[in-house]
Amino acid sequence: MNSLRAFVFDVDNTLTPPRRRLEPEMAEVLKNLPVTFHVAAGSDLALVQEQLVEPLQAAGYRGSFDAFVCNGSDRYRFELDGQTRLTSLRSFNLRNHLGASAFQTLMNTLENILNDPTFAIDAPGVRVFGEQIIDRGSMVNFAPIGRPKQMNPEAFANRDAFVVFDERTGYRHRILEHLRTALHGVIRDGGLRITFGGQTSFDIVIEGNDKTFPLRTLTEEGFTDLTYFGDALFEGGNDAAVLQFIAEHQEDQRLRVRAIQVAGWRDTLDQLLDLVQ
Ligand SMILES: [Mg+2]
């Protein structure tokens, strides 16, 4: 049987450095990749365009790929031929899925954390920039230090200081535990799933409308050999749902699907070159 092969990449910290644009070296590799690829990003469309699509266009990439954004639930097709053409293929709505009352419970729980002194960020120099609760339609991103609209040196320094604080104190672990307890009912009845989002925030999604969605969709569309690359395949990470998909399809003889944990974009580059050479 002929296999139809594709690579699926997480974007932030897998193809790009955290919250930064694609490096020219990676753009060159993607331009010459002999395997079809698609991306499954934690972030929204605007960030994927800025971090990935614009640098690819500038590097002379020509071709088409799908971007499953907002943790995989919203699907867009990009066609780059000097111009960038964008088509929306699927969108999901978390609020509609949960219903107004459960959605309000979620919002109130997040607000309460921001107002709770026991969850204050007790680190000198760390400040809040931008929105802290971001409703992206298909998912909610919760960022205790906020998401600045524009990244600048001050915002990057703030982010770095938070990452050090978080690693030292287990701050996000403590919030994750609290959220999973406080939202137990919505998790059970609505399929709500909460994971770490990148290095500073949380991604709140609905089961199946996460990074398993691109894998399921590509499988249904005939792909039989899928390799997923992600930096957050660990428990609580926003790529971890992929492992669940793999476990569920282990017995399926027609499908070969695996996941590769990477330590950052350079590691992805190395592992990718090993695979295709
Ligand atoms: Mg990532």
Q: In what order do the strands lie in the sheet with 131-135?
A: 131-135, 140-147, 201-206, 192-197
Going from the Cα of 197 to the center of ligand 1, the distance in angstroms, rounded, reads: 8
pLDDT digits (tens, 9 = 90+) for 29-56: 999 999 999 999 999 999 999 999 999 9
Going from the Cα of 101 to the center of ligand 1, the distance in angstroms, rounded, reads: 31
Going from the Cα of 127 to the center of ligand 1, the distance in angstroms, rounded, reads: 23
Q: Which residues have CB less than 5 Å away from ligand 1 (the ion)?
A: 10, 12-13, 231
Angle between the N-to-C axes of helices 24-31 and 265-276, in degrees from 0 to 180, rounded to the nearest 10:
30
pLDDT digits (tens, 9 = 90+) for 166-217: 999 999 999 999 999 999 999 999 999 999 998 899 999 999 999 999 999 9
Going from the Cα of 83 to the center of ligand 1, the distance in angstroms, rounded, reads: 27
Of the CA atoms within 13 Å of residue 115, those in its CB half-sphere come to 6
Query: What φ, ψ does residue 182 adopt, rounded to 5°?
Result: -65, -30
Domains belonging to the chain, first-starting first, are 5-92+210-276 (3.40.50.1000), 94-206 (3.30.1240.20)
Going from the Cα of 2 to the center of ligand 1, the distance in angstroms, rounded, reads: 31
Quickly state the pLDDT bin for 3 (edges 50, 70, 90): confident
Is the pLDDT at 2 greater than 70? The verdict is no
pLDDT digits (tens, 9 = 90+) for 48-84: 999 999 999 999 999 999 999 999 999 999 999 999 9
So which residues are the catalytic ones? 10, 12
